[in-house]
Structure 1
Amino acid sequence: MEFALVIAVVVIALAFDYTNGFHDAANAIATSISTRALTPKAALLLAAVMNLVGALVSEGVASTIGSGIISPPGDTDGLVVVLAGLIGAITWNLITWWRGLPSSSSHALIGGLIGAGVVGSVSVHWSVIVSKVLIPMVISPLIGFCLAYAVMVAIAWLFRRGAPGRVNRGFRAGQRVSAAALAFGHGLQDAQKTMGVIVLALATAGLHSGTGVPLWVKLAAAGAIALGTYAGGWRIMRTLGRRVVKLDPARGVAADLTASGVLYVMAIGLHAPVSTTHTISSAIMGVGATRRLSAVRWGVARTIVSAWVLTIPMSALFAGATYAVLTLVLP
Structure 2
Amino acid sequence: MEHITLLIGIVIVTALVFDFTNGFHDTANAMATTISTGALRPKTAVAMSAGLNLVGAFLSVEVAKTISGGIIDESAGIRPEVIFAGLVGAVVWNLLTWLAGLPSSSSHALFGGLIGATLVSVGTGGVHGEAVVMKVLIPAVAAPFVAGLASMAATRLTYRLARGRDEADTAKGYRAGQIASAALVSLAHGTNDAQKTMGVITLALITGGVVAPHSDPPMWVIVSAGLAIALGTYLGGWRIIRTMGKGITDIQPPQGFAAQTGAAATILASSHLGFALSTTQVCSGSVMGSGLGRKGGVVRWSTAGRMVVAWGLTLPAAGLVSAGAAYLADQGPWGVATVAVLALAVCGGIWAASRRKPVDHTNVNEGPAVEPAGVVTTALQTVAPPPAGPVAANAAADAATHAAPATTPAKTPAQPATASS
Bin the TM-score by the shorter chain. Answer: over 0.9
Unmatched 5+ stretches in structure 1: none
Q: State the partner residue of 2:140.
A: 137
Task: Work out whether residues 18 and 224 of structure 1, in 8 Å CA contact, stay in contact via their aligned partners in 2.
Answer: yes
Q: One-letter code of the match for 1:139?
A: A
Task: Work out whether residues 148 and 287 of structure 1, in 8 Å CA contact, stay in contact via their aligned partners in 2.
Answer: yes
Q: Tell me which of 253, 263, 269 is aligned to 1:265.
A: 269
Q: State the partner residue of 1:117.
A: 118
CA deviation profile, 1:263-283 (whole Å, cap 9, x unmatched): 000001x20000110001000
Match of 1:267, SS?
Answer: helix
> 1: distance between equivalents of 2:326 and 2:97?
21
Question: 170-179 or 312-321, which moves further after superposition?
Answer: 170-179
> 2: distance between equivalents of 1:46 and 1:163?
30
Q: State the partner residue of 1:45.
A: 47
Q: State the partner residue of 1:184.
A: 187
Q: Offset at 1:168? A: 2.0
Match of 2:104, SS?
Answer: coil
> 2: distance between equivalents of 1:252 and 1:294?
13
Q: CA 1:217 to 1:176, structure 2 compared with 1: closer, same or farther past 3 Å?
A: same
Residue 165 of structure 2 is aligned to residue 162 of structure 1: yes
Q: Tell me which of 49, 57, 60 is aligned to 1:58.
A: 60
Q: Offset at 1:71? A: 2.0
Q: State the partner residue of 1:78.
A: 79
Residue 225 of structure 2 is aligned to residue 224 of structure 1: no
Residue 180 of structure 2 is aligned to residue 174 of structure 1: no
Q: Tell me which of 126, 149, 153 is aligned to 2:152.
A: 149
Q: State the partner residue of 2:313.
A: 310
Q: CA 1:74 to 1:140, structure 2 compared with 1: closer, same or farther past 3 Å?
A: closer
Task: Work out whether residues 74 and 205 of structure 1, in 8 Å CA contact, stay in contact via their aligned partners in 2.
Answer: no
> 2: distance between equivalents of 1:282 and 1:206?
41
Q: Offset at 1:221? A: 0.1
Q: Which has the higher helix share?
A: 1
> 1: distance between equivalents of 2:100 and 2:71?
28
Match of 2:191, SS?
Answer: helix
Task: Work out whether residues 155 and 294 of structure 2, in 8 Å CA contact, stay in contact via their aligned partners in 1.
Answer: no
Q: State the partner residue of 1:107.
A: 108
Match of 1:71, SS?
Answer: coil
Q: CA 1:293 to 1:166, structure 2 compared with 1: closer, same or farther past 3 Å?
A: closer
Q: Tell me which of 219, 235, 241 is aligned to 1:237.
A: 241
> 1: distance between equivalents of 2:297 and 2:152?
14
Residue 253 of structure 2 is aligned to residue 249 of structure 1: yes
Q: CA 1:292 to 1:317, structure 2 compared with 1: closer, same or farther past 3 Å?
A: farther
> 1: distance between equivalents of 2:217 and 2:331?
32
Q: Offset at 1:329? A: 5.0
Residue 297 of structure 2 is aligned to residue 323 of structure 1: no
CA deviation profile, 1:178-213 (whole Å, cap 9, x unmatched): 110000111011000000000000001111113311
Question: 26-35 or 166-175, which moves further after superposition?
Answer: 166-175
Task: Work out whether residues 141 and 283 of structure 1, in 8 Å CA contact, stay in contact via their aligned partners in 2.
Answer: yes
Task: Work out whether residues 92 and 315 of structure 1, in 8 Å CA contact, stay in contact via their aligned partners in 2.
Answer: yes
Unmatched 5+ stretches in structure 2: 335-421
Q: One-letter code of the match for 1:219?
A: V
Q: One-letter code of the match for 2:240?
A: I
Runs of 4+ aligned residues of structure 1 deviating over 4 Å after TM superposition are 72-75
Task: Work out whether residues 49 and 183 of structure 2, in 8 Å CA contact, stay in contact via their aligned partners in 1.
Answer: yes
Larger Rg: 2
Q: One-letter code of the match for 2:107?
A: S
Task: Work out whether residues 255 and 294 of structure 2, in 8 Å CA contact, stay in contact via their aligned partners in 1.
Answer: no
> 2: distance between equivalents of 1:297 and 1:175?
22
> 2: distance between equivalents of 1:189 and 1:291?
29
Task: Work out whether residues 44 and 230 of structure 1, in 8 Å CA contact, stay in contact via their aligned partners in 2.
Answer: yes
Q: One-letter code of the match for 1:204?
A: T
> 2: distance between equivalents of 1:168 and 1:70?
48
Task: Work out whether residues 102 and 307 of structure 2, in 8 Å CA contact, stay in contact via their aligned partners in 1.
Answer: yes
Equivalent runs, 1:88-103 vs 2, <5 Å: 88-103=89-104
Equivalences, count: 329
Q: Tell me which of 20, 29, 32 is aligned to 1:30.
A: 32
Choose between structure 1 and 2 for higher RCO, CA contacts under 8 A separated by at least 6 residues: 1
Q: Offset at 1:2? A: 7.6
> 2: distance between equivalents of 1:74 and 1:305?
34
Q: State the partner residue of 2:380.
A: none
Q: Offset at 1:72? A: 4.3
Give the alignment's TM-score, normalised by structure 1. Answer: 0.96
Q: State the partner residue of 1:194.
A: 197
> 2: distance between equivalents of 1:53 and 1:2?
27
Task: Work out whether residues 72 and 117 of structure 1, in 8 Å CA contact, stay in contact via their aligned partners in 2.
Answer: no
Q: State the partner residue of 2:384.
A: none
Question: 120-129 or 30-39, which moves further after superposition?
Answer: 120-129
> 1: distance between equivalents of 2:75 and 2:154?
47
